[in-house]
C-alpha cells in the first residue's frame, strides 16, 4: 500500500507540471483563459489529495490483500509466486480489454471526425472559394471610384459588391409563397450586384441576370409593381414552379409579386450543418456592405494586397481596414468540429500510449512467470515462432474482444453526432478495418520486444533462474 501511495503521489506531481506546461496551448485551442495555480486553490489541493488517496487505494488494496494471503512455505519452496497470483489473472485480462476498448473507440472516433471535418472543408459548395477576399466598405457613395482604381491593380481579376458572400451566417431571411394567400416558406435573401455571379462562379441554368444599370422592377398590365430576382433550384422545388426553363417569367409572392428572371444551380448559403435552402438573389446598392475581390491565381499576393489596402484607405478614411479570405471564413464555420477533432486526437494518442505501457508491463510479467516453461519448450524443440505465438495469443484475443466491443459502441455515438449535419460522410467498414490493423500492429510491436527476448534466451539460463 505504501508503494502504491508513493507512486501515485509522484505521478500527481508530474501531472501538475504537465498541466502547467500544456495550459498555454490548451487555452489557444479552446480560446479560453483558464488559469491553474494549486497553491491558491484550497479546493483543488483537497481534491488532488483525495484523488491520490482514492487512486492509491484502488491500485494497491486488492494486490496487497492477495499478497497477504500467500503461504510463505509454498512461496519459498517453489518458483511460483503463490496461488493468489492466479486470482489476478481475470483482473489483468479485464484491464487489457478495458484499456484497448477505450483506445479503439477513441481512434475510430478520431478517424471519422477527421473524415467529416475534411468533407466539410473540401465539399463542393456550388460556387468558387479560392483567391477571393472580402472586405468591409466604409461608405456607399464611393463604390464606383473604388472599383475603377481596383481594376487598375495588377492581380485583381474582378470586383463585386454585396451585403454578404454566398455562404454566411449573416444572411437576411424572409418568407415566400406561391401566391399571397398560400402557405409561407422560409427563404434566404442575398443582395449582390451583377458581377456577383461571375465572381463566385454561380451556374446560370436558365433566364438572365438583371443588370445593375437596369431596373429590378417593372409595372405589369394591372399597374402592379413586380420585382425581378434570380432564384435557385431549391426555391423552384419548394414552390413547385417546374423546371428551371419553365420557371423563368413565373411569379411568386415575396412581400409582393416577384418575377423569376433567372435560375442558378443550388449552392450552400450556410455551413454544411444545414441543408440547402430556397434562395433568391436581388440587386440593391443601398444595402451593400462589403466588397468581394477575386485575385488572379498567379498574382503577387503581398504586393496586390498592399495596393488594395492603400486604395481602400484613400476612399474610406474613417473606417478600419480588415479583409478575410473566403476559404478562411468558411473554415471558421467548422471551428468547433476542428477543435473536437484535435482534442479527440490528443485523447486517442494518450489512451493508446497508456494501453501499450500497460501491455508492455503485462507481457514482461507473463514472460518472467513462464521463464522455465519457455526453457523446457525450447529444449524439447519448440521454435521461436511457436513461443512467440504462445506468449502473444492471449493478448491478441483480448485486443480483438476490445475491438469487437468498441466498434459498435463508437459507431452508435459517432453516427448520432453526424445527424447534426445535413451534409455528412457515410461510415464505411474501411475505417474499422484500418483501425483494427493499426491497433494490432501497435500491440504486436509492443508485445514482440519482450516475447522475442524471452524466446531467444538460452534455455540453460532460463532453467537455472530462480
Over the stretch 225-276, which tens digit does the pLDDT of each residue have?
A: 788 999 999 999 999 999 999 999 999 999 888 999 999 999 999 999 999 9
Q: Which three cell numbers stand for residue 53?
A: 488517496
Question: Alpha-carbon distance 140 to 285, whole Å?
Answer: 8
Specify whether the CB–CB gap between 96 and 362 falls below 8 A.
yes
Q: Are residues 278 and 232 in the same domain?
A: yes
Query: Could you tell me what percent of the chain has a pLDDT over 70?
Result: 89
DSSP per-residue codes, 12-81: HHHHHHHHHHHHHHHHHHHT------GGG-HHHHHHHHHHHHHHHHHHHHHHHHHHHT--HHHHHHSSS-
- Are the CB atoms for 288 and 195 separated by under 8 Å? no
Are 215 and 250 contained in the same domain?
yes
Q: In this structure, what DSSP letter does residue 288 have?
A: -
Give per-residue pLDDT as tens, 295-327. 987 768 888 899 999 998 888 877 788 889 998
- Same-domain check for residues 114 and 138: no
Phi, psi at 206, each rounded to 5°: -165, 165
Residues 365-422 pLDDT 10s? 777 767 777 777 777 777 777 777 777 787 888 888 989 999 999 999 999 999 999 9
Looking at 68, 87, 104, the residue that finishes a domain is 68
Q: Are residues 34 and 177 in the same domain?
A: no
Residues 356 and 406 reside in one and the same domain: yes
Residues 28 and 78 in one domain: no
Same domain, 326 and 460: no
The answer on 278 and 149 residing in a single domain is yes
Show Cβ contacts of residue 364 under 8 Å, excluding neighbours closer than 6 positions.
450
**Domain count of the chain?**
3
Asked if residue 227 and residue 348 are part of one domain, the reply reads no
To which residue does cell 540453460 refer? 460
- Same domain for 215 and 93: no
Q: 116 and 175: one domain? A: no
Domain extent, residue 444, equals: 72-123+334-464
Model confidence at 80: pLDDT above 70 = no
| 397 in the same domain as 256 | no
DSSP codes joined into one string, 110-159 = HHHHHHHHHHHHHS--SS--TTEEEEE-S-STTHHHHHHHHTTSTTEEEE
Helices (H), 419-458: 429-455
The model's pTM is 0.78
Amino acid at each position: 500500500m505504501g508503494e502504491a501511495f508513493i507512486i501515485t503521489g509522484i505521478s500527481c506531481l508530474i501531472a501538475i507540471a504537465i498541466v502547467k506546461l500544456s495550459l498555454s496551448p490548451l487555452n489557444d485551442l479552446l480560446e479560453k483563459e483558464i488559469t491553474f495555480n494549486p497553491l491558491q486553490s484550497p479546493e483543488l489541493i483537497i481534491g488532488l489529495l483525495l484523488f491520490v488517496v482514492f487512486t492509491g487505494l484502488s491500485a494497491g488494496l486488492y494486490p496487497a490483500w492477495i499478497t497477504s494471503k500467500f503461504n510463505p512455505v509454498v512461496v519459498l519452496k517453489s518458483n511460483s509466486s503463490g496461488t493468489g497470483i492466479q486470482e489476478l489473472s481475470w483482473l489483468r485480462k479485464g484491464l487489457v480489454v478495458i484499456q484497448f476498448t477505450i483506445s479503439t473507440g477513441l481512434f475510430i472516433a478520431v478517424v471519422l471526425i477527421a473524415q467529416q471535418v475534411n468533407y466539410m472543408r473540401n465539399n463542393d459548395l456550388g460556387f468558387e472559394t479560392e483567391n477571393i477576399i472580402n472586405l468591409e466598405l466604409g461608405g456607399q457613395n464611393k463604390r464606383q471610384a473604388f472599383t475603377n482604381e481596383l481594376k487598375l491593380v495588377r492581380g485583381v481579376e474582378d470586383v463585386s459588391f454585396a451585403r454578404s458572400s454566398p455562404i454566411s451566417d449573416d444572411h437576411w431571411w424572409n418568407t415566400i409563397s406561391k401566391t399571397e394567400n398560400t402557405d409561407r416558406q422560409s427563404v434566404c435573401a442575398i443582395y449582390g450586384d451583377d458581377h456577383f455571379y461571375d465572381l463566385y462562379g454561380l451556374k446560370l441554368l436558365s433566364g438572365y441576370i438583371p443588370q445593375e444599370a437596369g431596373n429590378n422592377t417593372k409595372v405589369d398590365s394591372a399597374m402592379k409593381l413586380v420585382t425581378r430576382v434570380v432564384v435557385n433550384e431549391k426555391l423552384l422545388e419548394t414552390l413547385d414552379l417546374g423546371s428551371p426553363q419553365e420557371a423563368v417569367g413565373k411569379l411568386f409572392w415575396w412581400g409582393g409579386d416577384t418575377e423569376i428572371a433567372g435560375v442558378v444551380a443550388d449552392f450552400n448559403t450556410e455551413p454544411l450543418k444545414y441543408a440547402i435552402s430556397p434562395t433568391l438573389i436581388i440587386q440593391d446598392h443601398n444595402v451593400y456592405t462589403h466588397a468581394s475581390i477575386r485575385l488572379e491565381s498567379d498574382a503577387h499576393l503581398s504586393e496586390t494586397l498592399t495596393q488594395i489596402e492603400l486604395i481602400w484607405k484613400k476612399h474610406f478614411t474613417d473606417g478600419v481596414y480588415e479583409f478575410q479570405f473566403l476559404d478562411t471564413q468558411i473554415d471558421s464555420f467548422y471551428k468547433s468540429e476542428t477543435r473536437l477533432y484535435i482534442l479527440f486526437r490528443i485523447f486517442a494518442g494518450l489512451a493508446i500510449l497508456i494501453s501499450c505501457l500497460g501491455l508492455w508491463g503485462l507481457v514482461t510479467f507473463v514472460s518472467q512467470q513462464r521463464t522455465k516453461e519457455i526453457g523446457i519448450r525450447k529444449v524439447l524443440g519448440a521454435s521461436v515462432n511457436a513461443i512467440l505465438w504462445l506468449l502473444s495469443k492471449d493478448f491478441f484475443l483480448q485486443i480483438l474482444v476490445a475491438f469487437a466491443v468498441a466498434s459498435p459502441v463508437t459507431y452508435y455515438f459517432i453516427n448520432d453526432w453526424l445527424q447534426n449535419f445535413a451534409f455528412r460522410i457515410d461510415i464505411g467498414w474501411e475505417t474499422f478495418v484500418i483501425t483494427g490493423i493499426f491497433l494490432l500492429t501497435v500491440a504486436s510491436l509492443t508485445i514482440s520486444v519482450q516475447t522475442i527476448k524471452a524466446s531467444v534466451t538460452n534455455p540453460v539460463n532460463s532453467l537455472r533462474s530462480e
